[in-house]
């Protein structure tokens, strides 16, 4: 018989120490296109957040603890590794050099020693795989306006690096055609972010005396500030498939080198996003099984699906499964793929998708888990995992995920509604994906309702929804956060008087703005801002190249053009309005949102005799990677809410 006890006070076996000890992150999936070997990168909190490369089938690390397969290109990184022809190349976090592992040998550098040069997104030249093409980011002059991004050719035998393509502000996704005659890539220019406008370029490849060059560059799709292209994939020597949002949603298209034309693949555009904003390199929701067949993962109303597309006819065939979130979709062979996939009640796992070799479309797919990212579920008694429910609020204009309290040993008090934690994702052009999140379960098993707000401006719901934040950041998502509490309170799903708000990075900015905006300041009983932005003008001056002009569209101009808007939407200027208790968490080495953002708002709140607590995590950057800091941050946040929300109300 469950015990009646106030929500938020329940005892739970889901502890922060268990979450960090029994959980890893899959940060990359690699498939050797020559021999089919499968590798993945594991982010390990127990090892200081190091990314280890693992041979997936053997479940064995391929290098020692002194290496870290992670890159700082765009600061957010991604695509740090490449498997090709029995070799694995990776960019090492500390040295910044690309290393190669040949068979069972120790890692050997293939780029010169220079910590100001960063590398990512490698591709091997098929006729001569000792030649790589990669994105290089040059920080010789570290000021954002002086950082130089290019595509370079790397001769791994001689450790020589030569410029290949330059002129755009950013590059990604270099892809050789199977015969090596063509190279495709994406490029974009300030002030665009890659989901706002990119250009897909195809060029001819020329190699003379082992020196690789390109000629006859052609922009085949994409347009600045209006059309975004993502995930180019060659399916044969002539056809390049990619994802483009010209219809309002990322849908697949194909380009023929021979004809020089691009056409949609689907006979009718779908209101589903087959791709998402490229915050990190190397993400993939599409792979080719053969020259006629794609395996794809469209996002439908925030939930992932899995499907096959027949390229010649545009027919789409959905594959039955119970996954709700999918990433890193890669081809294994002509009838199988691999992906990171999550269910409503299960953590992400490395999953193999097997199709019938004699009938790809007619027979059901089978799914095999290769590696779980968490063993915590198997150690818990039944009944502790709470599933999330998708809700649409504000007359269809706001998407949220509600995860209610769940603990088999407790029920709330009679006539009591649960306190709520409203979680605001970062970006702001991003989203919270459905599926099991241990941070949410930590709180729901203690009697809190957890609400993820995919406010207007989030991804996964088409370009029009994504673009609603243009000029409105700090206003519209603030209103959506408060509206969430109001509507769910009216439905009797939460106690609106005991709602807290939390968020990291851009989500932290929204927390601060919500607590200092007069019409929303009293909606939340407390807040937690992790590495959040408090001063927009200072952020423009201090942040890194990738996002250095991102704010101009979000706010509606530069600090010089609209200084009054920057002041109005900087919480540090309105600290006197913050009446709710506030917890601020910050990494000392954050290059994206520097510590001065946290320090400034803390100083202002204290000067106005407000209630604020500040925790600085030494050695951490934009988020917590080390187990001890993940644990400390989670436990601190929980105890903070217990002190300032629950005890105050109970008293």
Whichever domain contains 446, its CATH number is 3.40.50.1820
Question: Does the residue 620 lie in any domain?
Answer: yes
Question: Quick one: pLDDT at residue 287?
Answer: 98
Same domain, 364 and 412: no
Distance CA 345, CA 438 (A): 10
Question: Quick one: pLDDT at residue 18?
Answer: 87
Q: Which of 341, 373, 405 is the last residue of a domain?
A: 373
Same domain, 610 and 468: yes
Distance CA 60, CA 528 (A): 39
Question: Quick one: pLDDT at residue 21?
Answer: 82
Distance CA 197, CA 306 (A): 26
Question: Does the residue 87 lie in any domain?
Answer: no
Q: What is the pTM of this model?
A: 0.95
Distance CA 169, CA 187 (A): 7
Q: How many domains does the chain have?
A: 2
Are the beta carbons of 304 and 283 closer than 8 angstroms? no
Question: Does the residue 505 lie in any domain?
Answer: yes
Distance CA 598, CA 572 (A): 9
Same domain, 339 and 300: yes
Range of the domain at 433: 3-15+379-535+581-650
- Report CA-CA distances (Å) from 529 to 352, 499, 601: 38, 15, 11
Q: What is the pLDDT of residues 582-629, one digit of tens each?
A: 999 999 999 899 999 999 999 999 999 999 999 999 999 999 989 899
Same domain, 357 and 397: no
Say what the alpha-carbon torsion angle 419, 502, 636, 518 is, to the nearest 10 degrees.
-80
Question: Does the residue 28 lie in any domain?
Answer: no
Same domain, 425 and 338: no
Same domain, 438 and 361: no
**472: confidence class by pLDDT, cuts 50, 70, 90:** very high
Same domain, 486 and 347: no
Q: Which of 343, 373, 403 is the last residue of a domain?
A: 373
Distance CA 378, CA 357 (A): 34
Same domain, 490 and 636: yes
Residues 6+ apart with CB under 8 A from 474: 509, 510, 513, 536, 555, 568, 569
Residues 6+ apart with CB under 8 A from 229: 186, 198, 199, 200, 221, 222, 242, 243, 244, 245
DSSP 8-state class, residue 156: T
- Averaged pLDDT of the chain: 96
**DSSP bridge partners of 386:** none
- Report CA-CA distances (Å) from 176 to 126, 131, 180, 239: 7, 12, 5, 12
Cα 226 to the center of its chain, rounded Å: 22
Residues in the chain: 651
Question: Quick one: pLDDT at residue 559?
Answer: 98
Are the beta carbons of 272 and 298 closer than 8 angstroms? yes
Say yes or no to pLDDT of 225 above 80. Answer: yes
Residue % of the chain over a pLDDT of 70: 99
Three-state DSSP class for residue 80:
coil
Question: Does the residue 585 lie in any domain?
Answer: yes
Buried b (16+ CB within 10 A) or exposed e, 253-272: bbbebeeeebeebbeeebeb
Same domain, 364 and 406: no
Strand order in the sheet with 251-256: 229-234, 239-244, 251-256, 261-264
Same domain, 513 and 642: yes
Q: What is the pLDDT of residues 52-81, one digit of tens each?
A: 999 999 999 999 999 999 999 999 999 999
Say yes or no to pLDDT of 649 above 80. Answer: no
Please compute the mean of the pLDDT values over residues 440-452 and round it to a whole number. Answer: 98
Q: What is the pLDDT of residues 89-120, one digit of tens each?
A: 999 999 999 999 998 899 999 999 999 999 99
Q: What is the pLDDT of residues 355-384, one digit of tens each?
A: 999 999 999 999 999 999 998 888 898 999
Q: Which of 17-26, 173-182, 466-475, 560-569 has the lowest mean pLDDT?
A: 17-26
Question: Quick one: pLDDT at residue 109?
Answer: 98
Question: Quick one: pLDDT at residue 396?
Answer: 87
Question: Quick one: pLDDT at residue 110?
Answer: 98
Say yes or no to pLDDT of 489 above 60. Answer: yes
Same domain, 368 and 394: no
Question: Does the residue 530 lie in any domain?
Answer: yes
Question: Does the residue 191 lie in any domain?
Answer: no
Distance CA 62, CA 39 (A): 9
**650: confidence class by pLDDT, cuts 50, 70, 90:** low
Same domain, 306 and 364: yes
Q: Which of 327, 347, 373 is the last residue of a domain?
A: 373
Say yes or no to pLDDT of 136 above 60. Answer: yes
DSSP 8-state class, residue 642: I
Cα end-to-end distance, the chain, whole Å: 27
Residue 299: name the closest of 332, 276, 328 by CA: 276
Q: What is the pLDDT of residues 229-240, one digit of tens each?
A: 999 999 999 999
Question: Quick one: pLDDT at residue 651?
Answer: 43
Question: Does the residue 493 lie in any domain?
Answer: yes
């Amino acid at each position: 018989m469950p015990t009646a006890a106030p929500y938020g006070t329940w005892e739970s076996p889901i502890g922060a120490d268990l979450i960090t000890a029994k959980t890893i992150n899959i940060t990359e999936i690699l498939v050797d296109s020559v021999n089919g070997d499968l590798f993945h990168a594991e982010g390990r909190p127990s090892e200081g957040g190091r990314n280890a490369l693992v041979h997936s089938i053997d479940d064995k690390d391929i290098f020692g603890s002194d290496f870290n397969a992670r890159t700082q290109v765009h600061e957010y990184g991604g695509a740090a590794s490449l498997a090709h022809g029995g070799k694995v190349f990776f960019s090492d976090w500390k040295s910044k050099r690309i290393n190669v592992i040949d068979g069972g040998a120790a890692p050997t550098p293939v780029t010169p020693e220079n910590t100001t040069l960063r590398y990512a997104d490698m591709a091997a030249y098929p006729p001569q795989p000792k030649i790589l093409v990669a994105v290089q980011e040059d920080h010789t002059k570290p000021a954002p306006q002086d950082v130089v991004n290019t595509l370079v050719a790397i001769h791994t035998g001689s450790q020589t690096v030569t410029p290949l393509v330059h002129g755009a502000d950013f590059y990604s996704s270099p892809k050789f055609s199977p015969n090596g005659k063509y190279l495709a890539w994406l490029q974009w220019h300030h002030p665009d972010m890659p989901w706002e406008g990119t250009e897909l370029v195809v060029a001819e490849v020329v190699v003379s005396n082992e020196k690789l060059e390109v000629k006859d560059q052609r922009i085949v799709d994409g347009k600045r500030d209006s059309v975004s292209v993502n995930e180019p994939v060659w399916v044969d020597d002539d056809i390049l498939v990619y994802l483009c949002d010209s219809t309002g949603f990322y849908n697949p298209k194909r380009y023929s080198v021979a004809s020089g034309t691009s056409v949609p693949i689907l006979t009718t555009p779908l209101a589903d996003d087959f791709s998402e904003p490229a915050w990190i390199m190397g993400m993939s929701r599409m792979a080719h099984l053969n020259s006629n067949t794609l395996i794809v993962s469209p996002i439908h109303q925030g939930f992932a699906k899995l499907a096959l597309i027949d390229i010649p006819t545009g027919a789409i065939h959905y594959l039955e499964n119970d996954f709700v979130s999918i990433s890193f979709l890669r081809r294994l062979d002509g009838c199988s793929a691999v992906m990171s996939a999550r269910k409503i009640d299960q953590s992400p796992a490395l999953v193999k998708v097997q199709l019938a070799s004699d009938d790809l479309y007619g027979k059901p797919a089978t799914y095999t888990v290769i590696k779980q990212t968490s063993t915590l579920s198997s150690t818990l008694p039944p009944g502790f995992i709470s599933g999330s429910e998708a809700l649409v609020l504000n007359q269809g204009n706001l998407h949220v995920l509600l995860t209610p309290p769940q603990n088999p040993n407790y029920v709330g008090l009679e006539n009591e509604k649960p306190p709520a934690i409203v979680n605001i994702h970062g970006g702001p052009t991003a989203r919270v994906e459905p599926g099991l999140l241990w941070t949410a379960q930590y709180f729901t098993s203690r009697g809190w309702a957890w609400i993820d707000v995919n406010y207007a401006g989030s991804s996964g719901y088409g370009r029009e929804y994504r673009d609603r934040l243009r000029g409105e950041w700090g206003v519209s998502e603030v209103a959506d956060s408060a509206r969430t509490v109001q509507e769910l309170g009216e439905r009797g799903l939460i106690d609106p008087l005991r709602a807290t708000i939390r968020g990291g990075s851009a989500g932290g900015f929204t927390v601060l703005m919500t607590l200092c905006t007069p019409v929303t300041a009293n909606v939340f009983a407390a807040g937690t801002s992790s590495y959040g932005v408090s001063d927009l003008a200072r952020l423009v001056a201090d942040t890194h190249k990738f996002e250095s002009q991102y704010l101009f569209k979000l706010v509606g101009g530069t600090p010089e053009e609209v200084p009054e808007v920057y002041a109005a939407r900087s919480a540090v200027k309105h600290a006197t309005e913050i009446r709710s208790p506030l917890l601020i968490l910050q990494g000392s080495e954050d290059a994206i949102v520097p510590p001065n953002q946290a320090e400034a708002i803390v100083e202002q709140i204290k000067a106005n005799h407000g209630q604020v607590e500040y925790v600085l995590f030494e050695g951490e950057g934009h988020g917590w990677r080390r187990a001890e800091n993940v644990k400390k941050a989670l436990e601190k946040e929980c105890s903070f809410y217990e002190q300032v929300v629950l005890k105050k109300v109970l008293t």
